[in-house]
Structure 1
Amino acid sequence: MCRMLLTSLVATTMLIPVAATAQDEDLSAMRDQIAAMQAEIARLQTKVENLEQQRQSAERQPNGLVVVDALDPAPVAQAVPISPSTDLGFGAALSAETEEGWSFKPFGRLQFDAGTTALPDGLALADGYGSELRRIRLGVAGDMPGGFGYKLEVDFAGGDAEITDAILTYETGAAELTVGQHNNFQSLEELTSSRFSSFIERAAFTDAFGFERRLGLSVQYGVGDVLVQAGVFGDNFDDLPDSNSRSFDARAVYAPQIGGAQLHVGGSLHFTELNGDDSVRYRQRPLVHFTSNRLLDTGNVGADREFGTGLEAAAILGPLHFAGEAFWQSIDQSDTFTAADDPTFFGGYAEIGYFLTGERRGYKGGKFDRTQPLAPVGEGGIGAVQLVARYDRLDLSDAGITGGIQNGFYGSLIWVPTDYTRLMVNYGRLDYHDAPRPLPSGERDYAADVVGVRAQVDF
């Protein structure tokens, strides 16, 4: 069809001047003109044939396009690579993934806390209303070709940018290697994200014993119901280079599903060689973080090493869940103390929770995970509603050190309107014994009441 069209166009173009001058031109000039026209038609037909061949060649190229020069009567086909296709995802945040194995996903969370603390008047400590932006975190995570991955997260809640996670991972088979700043392997409560915790703050012992992210190298191996984690760590970014403590942490979890129940049994070990100021200090706030008051406090205690052991247990049965932990933290004191004086402190908790709306608490990878409402707000439902009760104990008194004993009785009402929004209301009654700060009468046994509220969104 292209050949016929070109022939017609050229013939029409050439015949107009021929007809206009037929009377004035002799037969010889007309023949020359017709010959020129035939030559032009032949040239154009050759070009059409070349273009058709190149088009057919382009269709046979699986990963390229053919670029031709329309003015060249014999163009040469040249393959030009096409960028690999990129898949874009639109969930809680925009994500991207390429066929080559690159992926990129931003994430973040915003947590606003407010509430009140009521302390005994005789302590002369500021109490009452308090509030804070507990966490403002932004980060990116993704995969790279060859089994590698990355994650970087920064917290802006304190007014300055503070790195929380900064890691590079490599996955091979059932093993995953991680290098950078990340959580060491202590406690189910500590490893569960604050986005999914039962209370505004984690169990008292996790903060008192200084559980935090540290710079290190670790390996994780998971097959079936068994998960084993171990690593060597230095200090948190914020403590470097002033401190150069070294620690070893390990954790093992057995998490079988029996019938409709998800079970969790685990244990952990922690050893730190202290090479900073050769001292430790264990202390703790009353439930909420927006108060600076710490009613339990060992003060600075000389130490060369610390050694911790932990036990974990949990079960999820439909909308009901149980969880509990116990952790013992011992310190090997400086040479001025005898081995008999080395103290051992204790912390632990037990909790029970129930979803009034029928959801099941999320669990993944040896820790609690996101719970998605069965009927979210905006889709004809009220979201997920959960009640949780907890007993929380922390004992910082031993071997002549009087850091105090806390028995906390907590209640939590959690409303999850949608997958990525959360509201929490907590109440705590905390009974203190042998508290390091006495009342004016000298009494060291007293109580405090705390109410805390959190509004949270994450993506």
Structure 2
Amino acid sequence: MSLKSTLLVGAAAAILAASPAMAQNAPSQAQIDALAAQIQALQGQLTSLKDSVAKESAANKKTLEAMPKVTADGGRIRVVTADKAFDAAIRARVHMDYGFGNGGKNFTADGTDGFGVRRAFLGVAGKVFTDWTYEVTANFASNRGGGAQIQAANIGYTGIPGWTIVAGVMQPKFTLDDSTSSNDIAFMERAPIGNVVVGIGGSDSRTAVGVTNKGTSHFVAAYVTGSATNNVSGAAATDFDDQVNLLGRAAYAFWQANEGSAGIGVSGVYQASPQALSRPQTAGTAITTISFGDRPGLRIGSRDTSYRLTNVTVNQIDSAYAYGADLGVNFKSFWAAAEYYNFGAEYSDRTATNAVQTLADPEFSGYYVSAGYVLTGERRNYNIGEWTGVKPSWPVGQNGFGAWEVAARYSQIDLIDRAAGINTGTAGKETNWTLGLNWYVNPAIRFMVNHVISKTERANGQDVELDLTAVRMQFQF
């Protein structure tokens, strides 16, 4: 019942209660007019009160709408202004590994067993003034030299629909595997062939300027990159000239449906100016070199170099390059991927002793094929040149057991080129089988188990075989 109705009923009740007396002593017209005036005054006060409450409610709503919105979706704290012109999100990523070697044929070194902090990222990313993006992230992982390293520090412009122009320290979009976040890759480590070609001019912590364009079925990217900011090994104290690399990628999704999607991509990099390792004594005599090689699918312990079975170094080069193609497809809970690359370097005309170079330019190749299945029904989707991660439909603690995924990968990299003089030491053809099991507890936590069976055919005819096992605890928001 409204206040107005209550007042009228109350007044009527009072009149009825007084009716016997009124019958004996009827009120005068003046008394009736006074009572009507009082009721009218109460109605005016009620209307004024309702208007005041409505104005105060509207003012409060306007104030709330103007306040920044704070969310914690998936554990990530994010602040967005009401006009969405400013955005800031705190990001973190921790990958903690434990691994061990199970022995192998002709492997006599004391391999590393133990823990390793593979990644420990902490940073902030967002946008300012609507069209400008930014990211600043540090990596505190112990295997990066003991201190914090710059993982990303860049700004981007997104004012042109579909386009992004970015400059600073970043991880360029290059190859299918490397374009996918390390939080979302199906295995603990990317395939060796991908790490080798990406290392020529891409990878994380890379100084670069680039432009990307993404549509409903295509993606293209082009960059000019320099050296990586985390290069603290070897002769870094005496490095002279930085690298200059030209890097590009394009991808096209030729099938997109409710059941899944599929696409192809191409990637290429040209190291136009290799990094000089020392200041030249005379013009044109700077020492330039490049190394090709990677661990066999796992990095174990904080000193993770002991399992690098295949590695070659090419000295006195003018340039280096890599090019290749990739394929990705997912159909409901099944997915598959493959990449193939040629890569190599071009020798200088003269050797380090100033003799005429007579060897052919070295060229190598490698590939991988992988597939997986999400046992609990979720999907790993192909998203125009990269993969999205698996998000559990029923996280642990919410009436579910999380998401479970099995995966397998076969990879090969051939680092033998006899015509180029690459046929001694650790030059060889390495093949790896990687078997993986992933448990997605919730969108922020994942546990991984990988087992690698590795075989390397050395150029000298000796085979080296090795079994490795590792587990990972992953946390990210």
TM-score category of the 2 structures, normalised to the smaller one: 0.7 to 0.9
CA distance in 2, matches of 1:160, 1:242: 23
Q: Distance in 2 between matches of 1:446 and 1:371?
A: 35
Does structure 1 residue 165 correspond to structure 2 residue 152? yes
- 8 Å Cα contact 1:165-1:182 kept in structure 2: yes
Query: 1: CA distance between counterparts of 2:463 and 2:322?
Result: 28
Unmatched 5+ stretches in structure 2: 1-47, 278-287, 351-355
What amino acid sits opposite 1:279 in the alignment? Answer: T
- CA deviation map 1:276-329 (0-9, x unaligned): 131111122222112322110113433110111020101010000010001111
Q: Secondary structure at the match of 2:186?
A: coil
Residue equivalent to 1:410: 434
Contact 2:192/2:293 (<8 A) preserved:
no
CA contact (8 A) 1:321 1:352 kept: yes
Task: Tell me if structure 1 keeps the 8 A contact 2:65–2:82.
Answer: no
Aligned to 2:295: 285
Distance 1:339 1:369, change over 3 A: farther
Sequence identity percentage: 25
1:427 aligns with 2:451: yes
Q: Which runs of 5+ in 1 are unaligned?
A: 1-51, 65-80, 437-442
Contact 1:296 1:435 in 2 (8 A): no
User: Which structure: larger Rg?
Assistant: 1
Indicate the residue corresponding to 2:345 in structure 1.
331
Find 2:211's aligned residue among 210, 219, 230: 219
Q: 1:251 aligns with which of 233, 249, 252?
A: 249
CA deviation after TM superposition for structure 1 residue 216, in Å: 1.3
Residues 187 and 268 of structure 1 are in contact (CA less than 8 Å); yes or no, is this contact kept in structure 2?
Answer: yes
Q: Confirm or deny: 8 A CA contact 1:393 1:406 kept in the other structure.
A: yes
Per the alignment, residue 274 of structure 2 pairs with 274
Show the counterpart of 2:134. Answer: 150
- Code of the aligned partner of 1:455: M
8 Å Cα contact 1:208-1:284 kept in structure 2: yes
Instruction: Summarize the alignment of residues 275-314 of structure 1 with structure 2, pairs less than 5 Å apart.
Output: 275-277=275-277, 278-290=288-300, 291-293=304-306, 294-314=308-328
Q: Does 1:96 find its partner at 2:79?
A: yes
Residue range with higher mean Cα deviation, 335-344 or 368-377: 335-344
Paired AA for residue 186 in structure 1: F
Displacement of 1:146 in angstroms is 3.9
Task: Specify the alignment match of 1:133 in structure 2.
Answer: 117
Q: Secondary structure at the match of 2:404?
A: strand
- Asked whether the equivalents of residues 435 and 445 of structure 1 are also in contact (C-alpha less than 8 Å), the reply is no
User: How far 1:82 sits from its partner (Å)?
Assistant: 11
Q: Is 2:153–2:168's contact at 8 Å kept on the other side of the alignment?
A: yes
Partners of 2:242 and 2:340 in 1: how far apart?
A: 28
SS in 2 for 1:244: coil
> Aligned partners of 1:192 and 1:393: how far apart in 2?
20
- TM-fit CA distance, 1:99: 2.6
Q: Which amino acid aligns with 2:157?
A: Y
Q: Counterparts of 1:428 and 1:162 in 2: how far apart (Å)?
A: 29
Cα 1:248/1:339, change in 2 over 3 Å: farther
Residue 232 in 1 paired to residue 224 in 2? yes
CA contact (8 A) 1:363 1:370 kept: no
Q: Secondary structure at the match of 1:208?
A: helix
| 1:306 alignment partner AA | A
After the TM superposition, list the runs of 4 or more consecutive aligned residues in structure 1 that deviate by more than 3 angstroms.
Answer: 81-84, 118-124, 238-243, 256-259, 337-340, 362-365
Per-residue deviation at 1:121? Answer: 7.0
Post-superposition shift, 1:221? Answer: 0.9
Alpha-carbon distance change, 228 to 298 in structure 1, aligned in 2, over 3 angstroms: same
DSSP-derived class of the 1:282 partner: strand
CA, structure 1 residues 379+299, in 2 after alignment: closer, same or farther (shift >3 Å)?
A: same
What's the CA shift for 1:63?
9.2
The match for 1:457 is 475
User: Which one is further off, 313-322 or 126-135?
Assistant: 126-135
d(CA) in 1 for partners of 2:93 and 2:64?
37
**What amino acid is aligned across from residue 281 of structure 1 in structure 2?**
S
**Cα distance in 1 between the residues matched to 2:59 and 2:348:** 69
* Contact kept in structure 2, 1:374 and 1:384, CA below 8 Å: yes
Secondary structure of the 2:416 match is strand
Report the 3-state secondary structure (helix = DSSP H, G, I; strand = E; otherwise coil) of the residue aligned with 2:442.
coil
Partner AA of 1:217 in structure 2? V
Please tell me whether the aligned partners of residues 408 and 435 of structure 2 are also in contact (alpha carbons under 8 angstroms).
yes
Deviations 1:369-406 (A, max 9, x none): 22111221111111111111110111111132032110
Q: Distance in 1 between matches of 2:375 and 2:67?
A: 45
**Take 1:245 and 1:364, find their aligned partners in 2: how far apart are those partners?**
31
Structure 2: how far apart are the matches of 1:247 and 1:274?
Answer: 8
Residues 245, 274 of structure 1: 8 Å contact kept? yes
Corresponding residue number in structure 1 for 2:15: none
State the 1:133 CA deviation. Answer: 1.1
* TM-score using structure 1 length: 0.78
2:313 aligned counterpart, secondary structure: coil
Supply the distance in 1 between the matched residues of 2:170 and 2:358 (Cα, whole angstroms).
33
Partner Cα distance (1:340, 1:331) in 2: 12
Q: 1:376 is paired with a residue of what secondary structure? A: coil
Maintained 8 Å contact 2:86/2:126: yes
The one-letter code matched in structure 2 to 1:166 is A
TM-aligned CA deviation for residue 343 of structure 1: 1.1
Distance 1:191 1:384 in 2: 23
Q: Take 2:127 and 2:134, find their aligned partners in 1: how far apart are those partners?
A: 6
